C-alpha cells in the first residue's frame, strides 16, 4: 500500500523568505486594499440591492445570502438532527419505509409534530419522502443509522451545546465551569491516576463508539503490516488495537492507559478474544516510563486534548522511554487547507475551549513539537478523510 506523504507547508505558517519579503508585503498590501475596497462596496445596502436585482449577479447574491443564513441557522439544523437521534427516527427507518402516523406512534409524538420534524429532516438531507406521507432514509440518515459512533457523538453534543450557549463569556473566561470539563475527567486532573472509574467508563464508551470510523481511516492510510508489534498510548478500551489486529493477525498488541481505562481494555480485548496477544500497561503517559516493547507507538486523539506544554511533556516522556528506531504515529483531526480539515478545525477549536484544554494543530505544528522533543524525520501522511484524521510520523 502506498502512503500519500504530503510535504506542502500549511499556508498560515509559511515564513517570508529573506530578499523576497518586500515584494510579498507589497502584494499583501495591494491585496488588503482591494479587499477593503470590496468590503466597502458590499457594506453598502444600495450596492447589495443592485446586485440582488441585476440578472447577471442575482445568482451570486443569492448564493452568498444562503451561505450566511446557513451559518446563522446552523444551530437549528443541529437540533433537527439531535431530535431525530433522540427520537430514534433513523433507527425506526433503518431498512424500511414508514408512514408519518407509524413513526409518530414509535416516537411518541403527535402526528402533526412528527410531520413537522420529518419535513425539516427531509430539507436537510436526512430523510426522503418515499410516497404520500411515507418516509425513508436519505444518504446522511443512512450513515447516522448505521454508525453508532456518529449517533453517540451527536447525543453528547447536548453538553457542548449548553457550554457554548454564551460563547463570549467562554472566550473571556475559559476557566468557566463547563459540562465538557467534567465529562473529560482527565483533561484538567492534576493527578491523572486518581480518575473516577465511572467517569473513565463514560468517556471511554464515547471513544469506543467513535473509534471504528477513525480506525478504518488510519488503517487505510498506513500499512501496519510492516511492524511486529504496536503500542497504543492512551489507547482507550483497545478498540483501535482490536481493529488493527483483525487486519494484521501477526501483530503483537500493547496498550498504555490510565488504570481504570486499562482495566476496561483488559476486559474488552479478552472478550474479543485477543488477551493472549495483548499486554496492558497502566500509568501516566506524561510521567511514567512507557515500555520500549513495540516498533510503532500510536497516539490517537491524544495530543489534541492538551495544551502545548503538556503535549510536549508527553512527547518528551515518550522520547525518554522508547528505543532508538521506534516509529511514532500521531493521528488526529488537524487544521489544514482542505474543506474537511477546515471544518474540523472550527469544531475542535471551540470544543477544546469548552473542554478547558487542547488545540486543533496543523501537521506543521505537530511536527514542530515532535522535533522539539527530539524525534527525527517527521512527515505527514494524508488519510482518506481529513475531517477525521491526518497522520504525522516521526522516529525516535
Ligand X SMILES: C[S@@+](CC[C@H](N)C(=O)[O-])C[C@H]1O[C@@H](n2cnc3c(N)ncnc32)[C@H](O)[C@@H]1O
Which residues of this chain interact with ligand X, rule CB under 6 A?
Answer: 186, 192, 204, 207, 211, 234-236, 257-258, 261, 284-286, 300-302, 305
Indicate the SS3 state at residue 233: strand
User: Minimal distance in Å, beta carbon 285 to ligand X?
Assistant: 4
DSSP H helix total and E strand total for the chain: 17, 11
Smallest distance, Å, CB 261 to ligand X?
4
* Rounded least distance, CB 149 to ligand X, Å: 10
Q: Provide, rounded to whole angstroms, the least separation between the CB of residue 356 and ligand X.
A: 14
Shortest Cβ distance from residue 80 to ligand X (Å)?
Answer: 28
Q: How far apart are CA 291 and CA 293, in angstroms?
A: 5
Q: Which three cell numbers mark 315?
A: 512527547
Residue 288 CB, nearest approach to ligand X (Å): 8
Residue 129 CA to its chain's centroid (Å)? 31
- Element holding 230 (H helix, E strand): strand 229-233
Calpha distance 208→47 (Å, rounded): 52
Measured from the CB atom, is 127 or 219 closer to ligand X?
219
Q: In which residue are the cell numbers 502506498 written?
A: 2
The residue of the chain with the least Cβ separation from ligand X equals 234
- Closest CB to ligand X among 184 and 375? 184
| Residue closer to ligand X (CB basis): 211 or 385 | 211
d(Cα 394, Cα 222) in Å, to the nearest integer?
13
Closer CB to ligand X, residue 85 or residue 187?
A: 187
Identify which of residues 90 and 183 has a Cβ nearer to ligand X in the complex. 183
DSSP 179-225: HHHHHSTTTT-SSGGG--HHHHHHHHHHHHHHHHHHHHHHHHHS-GG
- Given the complex with ligand X, which of 268 and 364 has the nearer CB atom? 268
Hey, how many other C-beta atoms are within 10 angstroms of the C-beta on 250? 10
Amino acid at each position: 500500500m502506498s502512503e500519500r506523504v504530503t510535504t506542502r507547508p500549511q499556508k498560515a505558517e509559511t515564513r517570508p523568505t529573506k530578499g523576497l519579503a518586500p515584494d510579498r508585503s507589497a502584494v499583501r498590501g495591494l491585496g488588503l486594499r482591494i479587499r477593503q475596497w470590496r468590503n466597502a462596496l458590499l457594506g453598502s445596502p444600495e450596492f447589495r440591492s443592485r446586485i440582488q436585482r441585476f440578472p447577471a449577479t442575482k445568482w451570486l447574491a443569492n448564493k452568498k445570502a444562503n451561505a450566511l443564513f446557513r451559518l446563522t441557522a446552523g444551530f437549528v439544523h443541529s437540533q433537527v438532527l439531535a431530535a431525530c437521534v433522540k427520537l430514534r427516527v433513523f433507527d425506526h427507518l433503518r431498512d424500511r419505509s414508514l408512514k408519518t402516523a407509524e413513526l409518530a406512534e414509535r416516537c411518541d409524538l403527535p402526528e402533526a409534530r412528527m410531520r413537522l420534524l420529518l419535513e425539516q429532516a427531509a430539507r436537510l438531507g436526512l430523510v426522503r419522502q418515499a410516497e404520500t406521507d411515507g418516509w425513508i432514509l436519505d444518504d446522511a440518515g443512512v450513515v447516522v443509522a448505521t454508525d453508532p459512533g456518529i449517533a453517540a457523538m451527536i447525543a453528547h453534543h447536548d453538553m457542548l451545546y449548553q457550554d457554548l450557549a454564551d460563547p463570549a463569556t467562554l472566550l473571556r473566561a475559559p476557566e468557566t465551569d463547563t459540562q465538557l470539563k467534567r465529562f473529560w475527567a482527565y483533561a484538567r486532573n492534576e493527578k491523572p491516576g486518581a480518575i473516577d472509574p465511572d467517569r473513565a467508563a463514560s468517556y471511554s464508551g464515547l471513544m469506543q463508539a467513535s473509534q471504528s470510523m477513525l480506525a478504518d481511516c488510519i488503517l487505510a492510510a498506513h500499512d501496519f503490516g510492516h511492524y511486529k508489534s504496536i503500542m497504543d498510548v492512551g489507547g482507550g478500551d483497545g478498540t483501535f488495537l482490536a481493529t488493527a489486529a483483525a487486519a494484521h493477525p501477526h501483530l503483537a498488541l500493547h496498550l498504555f492507559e490510565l488504570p481504570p481505562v486499562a482495566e476496561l481494555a483488559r476486559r474488552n480485548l479478552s472478550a474479543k478474544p485477543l488477551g493472549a496477544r495483548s499486554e496492558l500497561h497502566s500509568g501516566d503517559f506524561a510521567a511514567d516510563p512507557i515500555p520500549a516493547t513495540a516498533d510503532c507507538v500510536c497516539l490517537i486523539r491524544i495530543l489534541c486534548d492538551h495544551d502545548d506544554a503538556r503535549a510536549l511533556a508527553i512527547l518528551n516522556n515518550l522520547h525518554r522511554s522508547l528505543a532508538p528506531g521506534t516509529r511514532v504515529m500521531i493521528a488526529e483531526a488537524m487544521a489544514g487547507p482542505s474543506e474537511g480539515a477546515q471544518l474540523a478545525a472550527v469544531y475542535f477549536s471551540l470544543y477544546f475551549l469548552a473542554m478547558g484544554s487542547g488545540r486543533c494543530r496543523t501537521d506543521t505544528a505537530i511536527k514542530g513539537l515532535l522535533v522539539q522533543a527530539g524525534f527525527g524525520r517527521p512527515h505527514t501522511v494524508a488519510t482518506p478523510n481529513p475531517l477525521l484524521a491526518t497522520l504525522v510520523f516521526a522516529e525516535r
